[in-house]
Chains A and B, each alone.
Chain A
Amino acid sequence: MSDNHAEHEEHIGIPGYLVIFLILVFGTIFTYFSSFWDLDSIFPGANTLLALAIAFTKMMFVILYFMHVRWSSKTVWLAAVAAFFWLAIMFAFTMQDYFTRISGVFSV
């Protein structure tokens, strides 16, 4: 990953890894307990939204630090971003069909 062999010395080291680990553990526990709150009474889907936001944050920490993307070449960034971009295409363009099937509006 690193562009030269000296560079990996600059990675976060053991204390850094432990901090990331604690963040991930905290995120997991937080997701767990937040699921019992009735956030859906605020607006429908709020529970899921919060859970996904936490999951996404956890993923970013894993990708950036455990998988060393923060120190990686642009091509690696490109691969990671492209994958999620295409995933978004698949979600968005499939769901635009289902979201617009409300009877009498766009469907027959």
Chain B
Amino acid sequence: MQEVSAISGNSVPADEPKLNYINNGHTLKSWLLTKDHKRIALMYLVSVSAFFLMGGIYAGFIRLELLTPASDLLETATYNKVFTQHGILMVFFFLIPAIPAILGNFLLPLMIGAKDLALPRINLLSLYIYWIGGIITLWALMQGGVDTGWTFYTPYSTTFSNSYVMAVGIGVFINGFSSILTGLNFIVSIHTMRAPGMTWFRLPLFVWAHYATSLVMILGTPVVAITILLVAIERFARIGIFDPAIGGDPILFQHLFWFYSHPAVYIMILPGMGVISEVIAGFSRKRIFGYEFVAFSSIAIAVFGFLVWGHHMFVSGQSIFAGLVFSFLSMVVAVPSAIKTFNWTATMYKGSISYDTPMLYAIGFLGLFLIGGLTGLFLGSVGLTVHLTDTYFVVAHFHYVMVGGQVIAYLAGIHYWWPKMTGRMYSEFWGKISAMLIFVGFNLTFFPQFILGYMGMPRRYASYPEELQVLNIFSTAGASVLGFGLVMPVVYLIHSLFYGKKAADNPWMHPGLEWRTSSPPPTENFKEMPVVTWEAYDFGEESGLDLEDARKREAVTI
């Protein structure tokens, strides 16, 4: 055990291929039965991207249908299925696993200085469970799909819907255990696998964010699993606790469903916040402002996130007292998110910012998350919500958080760690173009929806009054730009795999532990067990990472 030789930033690796996790074994078996967290992460990347593509195609159909006021492209029944399947694929199969299962899986052991996650076989099992859940869901979609909305509200889903609710429910149920196992693995690894010297307050904030996410995954997901199981039993047995005809209680379904599904939106945003913390600190070349506050705000979000679910149910018939309590706590949960946003901005203040692609995404995230978060406060207040519930205002709000937050953060992360994951540099030029296209396209798509919602356009309908057409055309046009912007990274990232410049071990000259091993890392992650002697985000001169070095690097690369 000796200290890792600090930085090998400017040394471009020699041409002879080193043994790394990618070329260490080429058979199919060496991938499918691997216990290496990095290979599992890559397999997740491919699978999750496939689901993202499918969900995106459904979104395309939705926007095309809404181009004209009449319901002409799709039958209304088909439209119900299209938006449901868009929701289910995006929420359960893309947003929830995207950052934890891909970036988290790949980076968490590297960041804490471990050879692997604590339970590698459980990790592989979670991938297989994801595949099984995904295949069952896809099978159900091919059979005819489901039309309940991704929320499976009873009693429509249990008693009336004639679509494949049970099959999709079972797919989602199984998929839930994939994220439970991922979360479990992360918690255990963060507790027991940290390298010598890697104290809790030297952990990168990415790791803190994933710890908080894992808490929600472990404590929330089983509740939605049992709830969906009850829905499936109820459909099968034709009797159950959610059926109001015999004294059952549909509101109870909503309580149980949102007990998970509201914290689940924090599963969908917390890892993104972790990525943004890394990227903003890195490209401002500054220690993050208020490290402890950002770290503990992640945990606070995870805990308080469990106390606010009733704000989805203001008009459902829950008691007014409950509505007031949930409304108040919804305001409280906004505080830790605001702390994060302030601290990111303060980190950039007087930093030496370089506008590389990941940083462009991260800055986009700041703006979009701000809008998404603040409109959330509108929806969390009991009075306003009556006007806005089930309108496009809600749709725009959660897309600003989910797409503007998580998807943008996911792209920032993929670009940031792409050199580490693949050992190749992507085209910086096209990266910047796509980041800006996505930002413009996204705003063009979803900002008009705020206005539409405020004017009263309800969600989940295939047709709308003619006077709303102009804004809908803007939205659809924006969706085209957004779609084009999202396809671009796929093209140039794949291109970089074959023709990209070889990446240095530390192309950005950043201090994290993941940058102190080779790119791509060897199977065992570190040649020697690393001993951590520096604080997180240490850009100080003694670390060898000062600005001059970074300037030199830029002079070399551009």
Contacts and interface: CB of A to CB of B under 8 A. Distances in A.
Interface string A67-92: 00000000100000011001001100
A97 B319 contact: yes
A86 B219 contact: yes
Contacts of A108: 320
Nearest to B326: A93
Given A82-B219, A93-B310, A75 B322 contact: no
A89 B255 CA distance: 12
Contact of B325 (A83, A96, A101, A107): A96
A91 B309 CA distance: 13
Contact of A97 (B215, B255, B256, B307): B255
A15 to B, nearest CB: 34
Contact of B321 (A75, A83, A94, A106): A106
Contacts of A86: 219, 306
A86 B302 CA distance: 11
A48 interface: no
B310 A97 contact: yes
B191 interface: yes
B319 A106 contact: yes
B74 interface: no
Given A83-B219, A90-B223, A90-B259, A96 B307 contact: no
A72 to B, nearest CB: 13
B251 interface: yes
Contact of A93 (B223, B252, B309): B309
A106 B321 CA distance: 6
A72 B252 CA distance: 37
Contacts of B319: 96-98, 100-101, 106-107
B321 A100 contact: yes
A44 B436 CA distance: 65
Given A75-B191, A82-B219, A94-B255, A89 B306 contact: yes
A107 B191 CA distance: 46
Nearest to A92: B307
Nearest to B260: A90
Nearest to B192: A75
A101 B251 CA distance: 12
A97 B309 contact: no
A100 B322 contact: yes
B274 to A, nearest CB: 21
A93 B305 CA distance: 12
Given A75-B191, A101-B319, A89 B307 contact: yes
A8 B539 CA distance: 46
Interface residues of A, number: 17
Nearest to A86: B219
Contacts of A98: 319
B318 interface: yes
Contacts of B310: 93, 97
B389 to A, nearest CB: 16
A82 B318 CA distance: 27
A97 B191 contact: no
B223 A97 contact: no
User: Residue among B191, B215, B321 with the most chain A CB within 10 A?
Assistant: B321
A62 to B, nearest CB: 21
A88 B306 CA distance: 11
Contacts of A105: 321
Contact of A107 (B307, B309, B320): B320
Contacts of A93: 259, 307, 309-310, 325-326
A93 to B, nearest CB: 6
Contacts of B307: 89, 93
Interface string B455-475: 000000000000000000000
A106 B324 CA distance: 10
A106 B255 contact: no
A96 B191 contact: no
B221 to A, nearest CB: 12
A101 B255 CA distance: 15
Interface in B25-54: none
Contact of B320 (A75, A82, A94, A106): A106
B522 to A, nearest CB: 30
A94 B219 CA distance: 16
13 contacts: A90-B223, A90-B259, A93-B310, A93-B325, A93-B326, A94-B256, A96-B325, A97-B251, A97-B310, A97-B319, A98-B319, A106-B320, A107-B319
Given A97-B318, A100-B320, 20 more contacts: A75-B191, A93-B259, A93-B307, A93-B309, A93-B310, A93-B326, A94-B256, A94-B259, A96-B321, A96-B322, A96-B325, A97-B251, A97-B255, A97-B310, A98-B319, A100-B319, A100-B322, A105-B321, A106-B319, A108-B320
Interface of B: 191, 215, 219, 223, 251-252, 255-256, 259, 306-307, 309-310, 318-322, 325-326
Interface of A: 75, 82-83, 86, 89-90, 93-94, 96-98, 100-101, 105-108
- In the A-B complex, list the 9 residue pairs whose CB atoms are closest, starting with the nearest: A100-B321, A106-B321, A97-B322, A100-B319, A97-B318, A86-B219, A106-B320, A101-B319, A94-B255
